[in-house]
Chains A and B, each alone.
Chain A
């Protein structure tokens, strides 16, 4: 069954509002990665978090890795239309099998 869950599945925001997606794993992860997939495109790597409690920022994007290394979040401040897409978390669960979360589809209304 699905071992990496993401919520929400869909999110519609007005441009300028903030957005957060949450990722939860049933097992401890050695690291977690985040990807963005634009409509009609393929996933593109955004960032990798390795340490417990780690926080990383990329401009308006803030990524967090939970203390227990079982959950993570991506927060976007003041969304723009260029942020549209589906955001996936992914982590190695067993061996080198990378399991992806179900994804959060973000729509930004101008």
Chain B
């Protein structure tokens, strides 16, 4: 069954801790994205990648890091520098970058 898998569904972070959110796709898509969703603010772009080993910052990249070592995988690390990490994180992919986005089911990150 093709699609995008995000894990875990819920994640808790302790102060000063880095946490990594997983995003895997088996759609053979080149482009992958990370969005942050806060209530009433829509989706804000954190990072995106068009090809392996290349990625670009979005509007709110501070406090986050990504890697794109494989086409299928685009993990997001929320670092301790991100002071307000509580949000719903959505990963998405598209064939080359201008086509429709396919979203994963999201990860809800909360701070303990």
Taking Cβ atoms with an 8 Å cutoff, the residues of A that contact B are 6, 9, 30-31, 33, 35, 41-45, 48, 88, 90, 92, 95-103
Contact = CB atoms under 8 A, between A and B. Distances in A.
A96 B102 contact: no
B103 A44 contact: yes
Interface stretch (B34-42, B64-72, B79-87): B34-42
List the 8 shortest-distance A-B pairs measured between CB atoms, nearest first.
A96-B97, A100-B43, A45-B100, A102-B42, A42-B103, A103-B42, A100-B42, A43-B103
Interface of B: 31, 33, 35, 40-45, 48, 50, 56, 58, 90, 92, 97-106
A97 B44 CA distance: 10
Contacts of B98: 30-31, 92, 96
A100 B97 contact: no
